[in-house]
Amino acid sequence: MTEGNQDPGRAGAAQATRDGSEDAPRHGGARAVAAARAHDVATMFTLSGGHVFPLYDGAVKADPPMRLVDVRHEQTAVFAAEATARLTRRPGLAVLTAGPGVTNGISAITTAHFNGSAVVVLAGRAPDYRWGSGSLQEIDHPLLLAPVTKRAWTEHRADQVAAAVSEAFSIAAAAHRGPVFVDFSLEALFGEAADAGPAGPVPPAAPAPDPADVDAIAGLLAGAGRPVLVLGSDVWLGAAETAARAAAEELSLPVITNGQARGVLPAGHDLLVTRARAVAFREADLVVVVGTPLDFRLGYGEFGGQDGAPPAQVVHVADAPDQIASHRPLAASAAGDLVAFFTALAGAVPRRTGPRGADGAAGSPGAGRPGAAWRKSWLPRLQAARAEAMAADGALLASGADPVHPLRIYGELARLLDEDAVVIGDGGDFVSYAGKYLEPRRPGGWLDPGPYGCLGTGLGYAIAARIARPSAQVVLLLGDGAAGFSLMDADTLVRHRLPVVMICGNNGAWGLEKHPMQALYGYDVAADLQPRCRYDEVVQALGGAGEIVTRPDGIAPALRRAFASGVPYLVNVITDPAIAYPRSTTGI
């Protein structure tokens, strides 16, 4: 086990304080760790390299030591930091060594950029005194990182390290959140400073949206006949889940959720019509999208307009003005704190519809009741479409087909999941099925890769989830292709004693690419993987456990063994390679 840094006996003489403000000379690494801790960071995810040794020394000798989780690929370290931010809503920290350590982390940093995740990446950097002479791994990282971070810069002075780290965390955590990168020249990190330098600023609270904007949205809702409210990840990340649910309930708004907002309305809630998405988006006259971009996942914000009907009016609400869509006309928009938005909206709509009455009928004294009009026919229409979709699923979720239909796995898994389970998806078709058919009962427990769609998030997300939610079930759904990117980090689960249930939907193919290529060209290449590859034995070889399942009735008992095992466990389910997820969009 490599958890020796947890041993208080190893804490040395140079103790870090929470604010790093005492005056004894300490190296930049100790200053950085103290500053990170002052921003609520509990864990450093990393992969070793000499350029960052002082950050480890700082972690080990802090009092108490900072938990250090060493992984097998830098992208896993950054994905773990990203999942920490997404699950705990406090910033995540990854430490990468110079050069290839940083470049290996870039896909994960970009994922954090697309997901609006508050991640700070601290990195080593070749020494200043030799800069330009070609020392090992000398490269100017911030130039590479600038396009995918909120800010990327180099710190050259030991006495500025604490301030730089503190500033990085403040920038990352301020709405709209995102990754921040700082690299430290060897002089800054190994050099000693007597002074911690100026303290970094506290992240500013997002301002409330302009009341006039909220009022305009309330006016649109008051005049709508078929409105839909779409909730996305920033509703969760902005801690607005309670306010969002209260507003939806107050206004009787049909709700569709995506990303980390899944679960804001729990599975089975009257107003949750995610399963009737197609009907809702086709027939709505007003779509209010909050906390998620109008990207390919939402048809780029084009709703309705079929068969000669006018397109729906679209409202976009985000936590910061630069997140408001500019690629399509909007009927209204608002930017700012999302709790304040939902609270203001719930109050503003009744004001626009008149006094609240008892029966809600138009033209009666109850006409002012929020949602009066759409409660009568629009909501029931969506609820009926939802019921129809769910009834149609039943047969496949219970499918006895051999080879296994992937949906049967979710039929079995849904029965075993606790309310607070964390479910992570890393893969193609296999994970698309999960996104559609596993409806969370709480927000903040679902992690998909987000709009950047990067395969390989799996083990990093799982490591972080296990640490962030120590008593919850953590389930990682892996396509067999996706598994190849990060499965070596099952070793990290084993070394750090982090039990996770991994379920591999093994169709022996890059399914999400194979089927579309077949459809386009009538043949496919570069899309096959080894059939029945024993990914379960990979995890066993790394010190975990696992088993292969080839028949539908073997799934439930295997999952039960996995949950009971208390170790990293991979259930390798061989699924039917002929089955393609029925996809209506390619995202292009």
| E-assigned strand segments in 38-158 | 43-46, 67-70, 92-96, 119-125, 151-155
Q: What value, to the nearest 5°, has the Cα angle with vertex 84 and ends 81 and 87?
A: 150
Q: Identify which range of 223-231, 252-260, 304-312, 504-512 contacts Mg ion by CB under 5 A.
A: 504-512
Find the part of the chain contacting ligand TPP (CB under 6 A) among 43-51, 72-80, 503-511, 530-538: 503-511
546 binds Mg ion, rule: CB under 5 A: no
480 binds Mg ion (CB under 5 A): yes
Instruction: State which residue, 366 or 577, has the beta carbon closest to Mg ion.
Output: 577
Q: What is the phi/psi pair of residue 154, to 5°?
A: -110, 140
454 binds, among Mg ion, ligand TPP, none (CB under 5 to 8 A by kind): ligand TPP
d(CA 170, CA 182): 13
Q: Residues binding ligand TPP: what is the number (CB under 6 A)? A: 19
Amino acid residing at 462: A
- Asked whether the beta carbons of 91 and 172 are under 8 A apart, the reply is yes
CB of 493 to ligand TPP, least distance (A): 19
Is residue 425 close enough to count as binding ligand TPP by CB under 6 A?
Answer: no
* Residue 511 in contact with Mg ion, rule: CB under 5 A: yes
Least separation, in Å, of the C-beta of 75 and ligand TPP?
9
**Torsion angle of C-alpha atoms 206, 212, 216, 221, degrees rounded to 10:** 60
DSSP letter (8 states) at residue 201: P
The distance of closest approach from Cβ of residue 437 to ligand TPP in the complex, given in angstroms and rounded to an integer, is 14
Q: Which is nearer to Mg ion, 451 or 481 (CB)?
A: 481
Among 282-290, 313-321, 360-368, 473-481, the segment contacting Mg ion (CB under 5 A): 473-481
Is 479 one of the binding residues for Mg ion (CB under 5 A)? yes
> With contact defined as beta carbons under 8 Å apart, do 315 and 288 qualify?
yes
Q: Does 480 bind ligand TPP (CB under 6 A)?
A: yes
Please choose, out of 11-19, 49-57, 270-278, 504-512, the segment that lies near ligand TPP by the rule CB under 6 A: 504-512
Which of 82, 480 has the CB closer to Mg ion? 480
Residue 426 binds Mg ion (CB under 5 A)? no
Nearer to Mg ion, 457 or 507 (CB): 507
Percent of residues in the chain assigned helix, strand, coil, to nearest 5: 45, 15, 40
Question: Whose CA is closest to 117, among 61, 78, 157?
Answer: 78
Say whether residue 412 binds Mg ion (CB under 5 A): no
Structural contact between residues 59 and 5, judged by C-beta atoms closer than 8 angstroms: yes
Task: State yes or no: residue 293 binds Mg ion (CB under 5 A).
Answer: no
Rg (C-alpha) for the chain, rounded Å, is 25
- Contacted entry of Mg ion, ligand TPP, none for residue 544, CB cut-off 5 to 8 Å set by kind: none
Packing angle, helices 555-565 and 406-416, rounded to 10: 50
Q: Of the candidates 237, 290, 339, 454, which one interacts with ligand TPP according to CB under 6 A?
A: 454
Residue 174 touches which of Mg ion, ligand TPP, none (Cβ within 5-8 Å per kind): none
Please give, one letter per residue, the 3-state secondary structure of 469-512: CCCCCEEEEEEHHHHHHHHHHHHHHHHCCCCCEEEEEECCECHH
| Separation CA 16–CA 162 (nearest Å) | 12
Q: By C-beta, is 71 or 482 nearer to ligand TPP?
A: 482
Residues facing residue 314 across a β-bridge: 287
105 forms part of the interface with ligand TPP (CB under 6 A): no
Footprint (CB under 6 A) of ligand TPP, residues 508-527: 509-513
**Of 161-169, 415-423, 464-472, 474-482, which segment contacts ligand TPP by CB under 6 A?**
474-482
Sheet holding 255-257, edge to edge: 255-257, 227-231, 286-290, 313-318, 332-335
Q: Which two tokens stand for residue 85?
A: 């931010």
Binding region for ligand TPP (CB under 6 A) out of 59-67, 201-209, 452-460, 564-572:
452-460
Q: Which residues bind ligand TPP (CB under 6 A)?
A: 427-430, 453-456, 479-482, 505, 507, 509-513
Q: Which residues bind Mg ion (CB under 5 A)?
A: 479-481, 507, 509, 511
